[in-house]
A = this chain, B = another copy of it.
Amino acid sequence: MKTTKNCITRLYQYREALYRMKTSGCQKVFSNDLAEAIGANSSQVRKDFSLFGISGNKRGGYGIHELMDQLDTLFNKNQMRKIIVVGVGNIGRALMNYESFARELILIEAAFDIDPMKYDREALIPVLPMEELQDYITHNKIKMAIIAVPYFAAQQVFDLMSAAGIRGVVNFSPVSLKTPEDVFVNNVNVQLEIDIVHYFVNALDKKE
């Protein structure tokens, strides 16, 4: 099966859009609606679905409920997703405080930092010293982690996690990590996103 990251990304976006449609009372959608919701082409939508054997009703579109269920199964959305945060700074805290993760069964179970001032074992999400990171990962069978430490610490933190059994990482630092084959890393580079907007704003200006 040809499942690219782009395709998976879109599937999750469909799901997000479906959630909002359901919330606002809809029962069914056409590929066209979904395409519009995520800014794509309607045959893209249908192709994405067909790749995963998801099918609708000719002339009747897709039942929202049904469709979400199929996506959820595909994504193992019904299984709790435990995750840890390393680096309890601006970004780390923002994530730890985000309430809507619960809705998607994303559970930030613990956080780690190198700074003793941040330790707090009693908090809702405990903040633990880095020394305990590897044990925690192995003991609790944690598979996913978020890296929110400064760039100079990112690779080193990654290596620790990876050695302890982490299989997937969301990396907020601006460095691109050297990773083994069997660990999946997704980068979120906020400054890059701002830079790119800046570039295109200038480019658009010049065109006029």
Q: Which residues of A contact B (CB under 8 A)?
A: 3, 5, 8-9, 12-13, 16-17, 20, 37-39, 75-76, 81, 83, 90-91, 93-95, 97-98, 100-101, 104, 106, 143-144, 146, 151, 167-170, 174-176, 182, 184-186, 188-205
Contacts and interface: CB of A to CB of B under 8 A. Distances in A.
B195 A144 contact: no
A186 B175 contact: no
Given A198-B75, A198-B144, A186 B193 contact: yes
Contacts of A38: 176
A29 to B, nearest CB: 15
Contact of A190 (B5, B143, B188, B202): B188
A97 B16 CA distance: 29
Given A8-B200, A144-B197, A144-B198, 8 more contacts: A12-B195, A12-B199, A39-B176, A90-B93, A90-B95, A143-B201, A144-B194, A144-B201
A168 B90 contact: no
22 contacts: A3-B203, A5-B200, A13-B176, A13-B192, A16-B175, A17-B176, A20-B151, A37-B176, A38-B176, A75-B199, A90-B93, A90-B97, A91-B94, A93-B94, A94-B94, A101-B191, A106-B191, A168-B200, A168-B201, A184-B197, A186-B193, A188-B190
Contacts of A5: 196, 200
A169 to B, nearest CB: 7
Most central of A37, A170, A175, A201 by chain B CB within 10 Å:
A201
A146 B109 CA distance: 29
A7 to B, nearest CB: 11
A143 B194 CA distance: 12
Contacts of A101: 191, 194
